[in-house]
Chains A and B, each alone.
Chain A
Amino acid sequence: MVKPRRRFEQELAELEELILRMGAISEDMLSRMIRALRERNVEFAEDTVRMDDQVDALNLEIETKCIRLIATQQPQARDLRRIIAALKISGDVERIADYAVDICLVVKELADKPLFKPLEDIPRMQELVKKMLHETLDAFVTRDLELVYKMIADDEEVDTLYENLYVELKDFMKQDPSLVDQAVSLILITRYLERIADHVTNIGERVFYVETGELKELHV
């Protein structure tokens, strides 16, 4: 038996694999970023920044492939949703990697002095954000929307951590102006992590769209 559109199916599977590869590099960047911060290791931060080139290249490859599939394969229904989702998701993952780069640049600024407070909530935020990204990309290929709902709940926790840290760091600055430089850097890092989590919720919304055909904001 000749199975119709076998080649097209292969290309869609390959598109998903490229997304996963891009996501895996971004997750790796998030892990390295927190290690660079913990150890205040400039070299490690710079290595992580360089990984962004791979993510950018994959983003272009995915975009090119999506354009080609739309132009030549006349995708309909679920196929169309998968391609549009891949296009949007790759844009979000690219932004996530950019934020990881931004964090590494801040880490470089922090490297010359010991931190005035131990790192607790920032690693917790990083862990949550990385888990959110991993599970949401998993949901993209396993079609398991439960993972998306879990991610939305995690995002709320990230928002809470961000708000608390913001208030806490602001108080430190008020009490001791000599901490302003370091506190601003830490606020920037938490802000970037919070933005990463928002991009992950965008990805979740695309996964939801592929599975249900419904475009809607899942973020509460």
Chain B
Amino acid sequence: MFQGSSDDRNEVQRWYVSIMEQKNDCKIRIDNLNLHFATNHVLKGINLNITRNLITALIGPSGCGKSTLLKCLNRMNDILSDVRIEGQVLLENQDIYADTVDVSHLRKRVGMVFQRPVAFPISIYENVASAPRVHGVSHKGTLNTIVQASLERVGLWDEVADKLHKSALSLSLGQQQQLCIARVIASEPEVILLDEPCSALDPMSTMKIEELMRQLAKNYTVVIVTHSMQQAARASDYTVFMLGGEIIESGPTAEIFTSPRDTRTEDYITGRFR
């Protein structure tokens, strides 16, 4: 009869209720964030709450500032010269730009996955184990457990269990991206940032990564930048539409894609943007 069990359907119900009710369960709060690259004002007065255990998508045309905003969430913009950042980004109510913050520890808490899979030219096992090693885990048994659990969580374990010591570059691009997500998970983050994680992948791998994001959102807060509106619609719970360094509109994805309030959002998502 049904393709899903009643547990599955309850899960959908719980998820939907969580979208409607968790509006105030804030994992990251961005307060009046401004970012300048030299004389270029890239992010303008950004205010945004990112909800725990949901998937938030940042969308908008090229150059709207969505990737820059994403990188502000784990201070990836710090490495660029001539950057000036004002305002606050609060992770669990603590300002990540405070002087006392250890940036390496911050990036452990807020992991990142990039556009092209960045698999290291070492074994599959070492790709995942490298993350906990950096954070001080050296016990072989513990590392084995972390590697297996991380690969299981991204759905890659069955495919690679018998070739853990082969080069990660032998994997398909989609598998490499799953591996990169496993590496992030191995650091036990709280937030996972994904910067156009499927733009180098084929449609089937894309669908797998989207489903994986859905699984991950049960344990982590997920923020994704995507230039595919369809992907934001399919895979996210909240959508934030940006234009010219500003947030034009944000809200539950179903609302943004059925009844956007701003005509600029409507023009963008219906492909009439000029």
- Which A-chain residue is minimally distant from B205 (CB atoms)? A4
**A142 and B1 contacting across the interface, CB-CB below 8 Å:** yes
Verify if A72 is at the interface (C-beta below 8 Å from B): yes
Q: Are A2 and B212 in contact (CB under 8 A)?
A: yes
Other-chain contact of B211, A5, A14, A68, A74 (Cβ < 8 Å): A5
Tell me how far the C-beta of A220 lies from the nearest C-beta in chain B, rounded to whole angstroms.
Answer: 29
Q: Is the CB of A141 within 8 A of B214?
A: no
B258 touches A10 (CB 8 A): no
A67 in the interface (beta carbon within 8 A):
yes
Inter-chain contacts of A113 with B (CB < 8 A) = none
Assuming the A-B contacts A2-B215, A5-B211, A6-B211, are A72 and B12 also in contact, with contact meaning beta carbons closer than 8 angstroms in the complex? Answer: no
Q: A71-B258, A74-B230 are in contact. Are A4 and B1 (CB under 8 A)?
A: no
Q: Contacts of B3 on A, CB cut-off 8 Å?
A: 9, 12-13
- Whether B254 pairs with A14 at a CB distance below 8 angstroms is no
Chain B proximity mask over A6-31: 1 for CB below 8 Å, otherwise 0: 11111111101100000000000000
Q: Tell me the dominant secondary structure on chain A's binding face.
A: helix
- Cβ proximity bits A90-104 to B, threshold 8 Å, 1 near / 0 not: 000000000000000
| Residue A73 lies at the interface, judged by CB distance under 8 Å to chain B | yes
Interface CB pairs A-B, < 8 A, 22: A1-B158, A2-B155, A2-B178, A2-B212, A3-B211, A4-B207, A4-B208, A5-B210, A7-B211, A8-B234, A11-B12, A13-B3, A14-B4, A14-B9, A17-B9, A67-B258, A72-B254, A72-B257, A74-B230, A141-B1, A141-B2, A142-B1
If A2-B155, A4-B204, A74-B230 are given as contacts, then 7 extra A-B residue pairs at C-beta distance below 8 Å, sorted by A number, are A1-B158, A2-B215, A5-B207, A10-B9, A10-B12, A68-B258, A142-B1
Q: Give me the interface of B with A, judged by CB distance under 8 Å.
A: 1-4, 8-9, 11-13, 15, 154-155, 158-159, 178, 204, 207-208, 210-212, 214-215, 230, 233-234, 253-254, 257-258
